[in-house]
Every structure is written in structure tokens, then in C-alpha cells.
Structure 1
Amino acid sequence: MSHSEIEVAPVRDHKHRALNVFLGEWRAEGQSYGSSHQPVEDPRSAAELWVSAHTGQWHTGEYFLIQDERAVIGGKPFDTLSVMGVDANTGHHFARTFENHGFYRHYDVLVDRRVWTITGERERAQIEFSEDGRTQTIAWEWRPKDRWLPLCDRIARRQD
């Protein structure tokens, strides 16, 4: 590696600290709609109960936030491990997720005050935090074919 190829260490700043809103223990309940049988004309009609618990904690150094979610949707497990951070090259937030069915996703994340918008190729979400930061209103959509459909809606409440 030449001297010009040495990577400069990232600097932790306000964008990293903004991720603090995800810290702690959370419990969520809501509805999941996405399935291969989701009717386009009434996409929320075949809802299944969503119940989950997730924790958010900093990885050593506090550059990356780790979120571990354990959900049960319609009686079946749906577990997701997420890593959120700030891309040192672009200065933008990102999220990477890994779930128990073998899927991996990369999302771009935008922040506008209390609203976090997560955008990927096949899914997107909006997470709005309450003014006191103890409640998340979460709405996910997915694009199974040629249009966006609701995937799940849930409310998460901080437990600690």
C-alpha cells in the first residue's frame, strides 16, 4: 500500500450522536402485511400480528450502532441484526441489515428532525420519534413487483 492509499480515520461528530435516539430497549406491536398473497387492491386486508423486542447499543468506539430485533409475525420468528453508521466518504447515514431468512439489505438513511427515512432497493421505511424520544412510529413498505405496498406498521416504546 502506498502512502497515498492510507485511509484517514473517520471523525465522530453530530451525525454519529444523532443515532443515540435508537439506543435502549424497545418493545413494538403492530401489523405485518407483506406476503406473496398480499392483495394489491386492499394490501392491508391480510394483516398478521407483529410483536417484537429490540435493543440498540453502540459498538466499541461509538461509530456504529448495533440493533438486534427479535420479532414474531403471525407466530413465526423474524430476527434482524442491523448496523447503522455514517459513511466516512459521503457523510451520509446508512443501515445494513441481516435477517434470519438469509437476506441482507443496504439502506440509505436520511434524517429530518425526528423523522428518519430509510430507503433501499426493495424496501423503504419512515420512523418518526415522539418529541420525548420514547416512542417510534414505524411504517415499512416493500416493492414485490412494480409498485410500493405496505409491509408493516408498528409502534415501538422504549422500555428503559
Structure 2
Amino acid sequence: MADETMPNAPRRTAMHEALAVFLGEWKAQGTSYGGTDQSGDDPRANGVEWISEHRGYWHTGAFFLVQEERARPGGMVFDTLSVMGVDPERGGYFARSFENHGFYRDYPVTREGKVWTFSGQTERATITFSDDDRTQTIAWEWKPEGAWLPLCDRVATRTDP
């Protein structure tokens, strides 16, 4: 078992601290397009309401941020558990997401100021934080048949102090 007295033990850095923006209790509303009859001509034509709550908290040691989300796009159940952390080999971040339908996603994550970008093979997202870090503007896209289409647009507001 590694601890801080070991010479190669991980050390918290400013990159870890930047993940703190995801901490707290959040409520989101928006529109989900995935699973609808999307076309390149009007991919947002048949969206359904997205309502969700999520919370972010540090795993013991504060190296990894855990996020649990309970979403109800169009009344359907869509729950996810995600773990975010620093990837020292890439010099960036990662997110690993597990959802109630059995899917697992692995996203390399980059950050430029208030904008976080999740880059997956078939899904990607941009999360932009407000100046006070209490609002997230979230845009997900997916690639169901070779072209990127909107998957979900929503805005999350932090509800705890």
C-alpha cells in the first residue's frame, strides 16, 4: 500500500484542485436528442425534456472526484457514476463513466480556463462553467452513424452553498 512517505507516491497538484469545480449538489434541465429520430437536416427536431440531479464529492484522499447523476430524459431512467482524476502520463485528466444500462465510457479530458472537454470515440462533451462556478452549460454530442449529432444540451445549477 502506497502512502506519502514512499518516494513515488502520487502528490496532489493544482490539477487535482481544479477538479473541485465539479463538487457539490447540482440540478439540471435541458433537452435530450439521443434515441430520437435524428437527421442531419434537423438533429434537434425531436428532443425530449432532460431533468437531472448530480453530486460531486472527493473520494478519500482527494485524488479522485466521484460524481453520481440521476437523470430522467423523457421520463426514462438514466443513472451514471463517474470518476474523474489526473492522468500524469498524458498531462491531462480522465473521466470514467458507468451507467445503469451497462455501458462504460472512458474519456480523455482537457481543460482550458472554465471549459472542460470530454473526448470519446462515439461521444464527446463540452462543459463550460460560469464566472462564479455555480452554473454549468453542458453540450453532449454522439456519433451514431459516422457524423457528430447533438445528444443532450442542458444547464446545471449548483444548489448547495
TM-score bucket (shorter structure): over 0.9
Distance, in Å, in 1 between the alignment partners of 2:91 and 2:12 is: 11
Match of 1:100 in 2: 100
Paired residue secondary structure (1:74): helix
Match of 1:155 in 2: 155
Report if aligned partners of 2:36, 2:47 keep a CA contact under 8 Å in 1.
Answer: no
Q: What TM-score, normalized to structure 2?
A: 0.93
CA displacement 1:82-138 (0-9 Å, x = unmatched): 000001333310000000010000001110000001100110000000000000000
Match of 2:86 in 1: 86
Gaps of 5+ in 2: 1-5
Gaps of 5+ in 1: 1-5
Residue identity (%): 59
Q: What is the Cα deviation at residue 32 of structure 1?
A: 0.2
Amino acid at match of 1:42: D
Distance, in Å, in 2 between the alignment partners of 1:105 and 1:78 is: 14
Farther off after superposition, 131-140 or 36-45: 36-45
Superposed, 1:67-86 pairs within 5 Å as: 67-86=67-86
CA displacement 1:32-74 (0-9 Å, x = unmatched): 0011632221100000000000000000000000000000010
CA displacement 1:16-35 (0-9 Å, x = unmatched): 00000000000000000011
Farther off after superposition, 22-31 or 40-49: 40-49
Match of 1:18 in 2: 18
Amino acid at match of 1:54: H
Distance, in Å, in 2 between the alignment partners of 1:8 and 1:41 is: 53
Distance, in Å, in 1 between the alignment partners of 2:47 and 2:22 is: 26
1:130 equivalent to 2:130? Answer yes
Paired residue secondary structure (1:18): helix
Distance, in Å, in 1 between the alignment partners of 2:76 and 2:7 is: 43
Amino acid at match of 2:54: H
Q: What TM-score, normalized to structure 1?
A: 0.93
Distance, in Å, in 1 between the alignment partners of 2:39 and 2:147 is: 12
RMSD: 1.4
Q: How many residues align?
A: 155
Alpha-carbon spacing, 1:109–1:7, altered in 2? closer, same or farther (3 Å):
farther
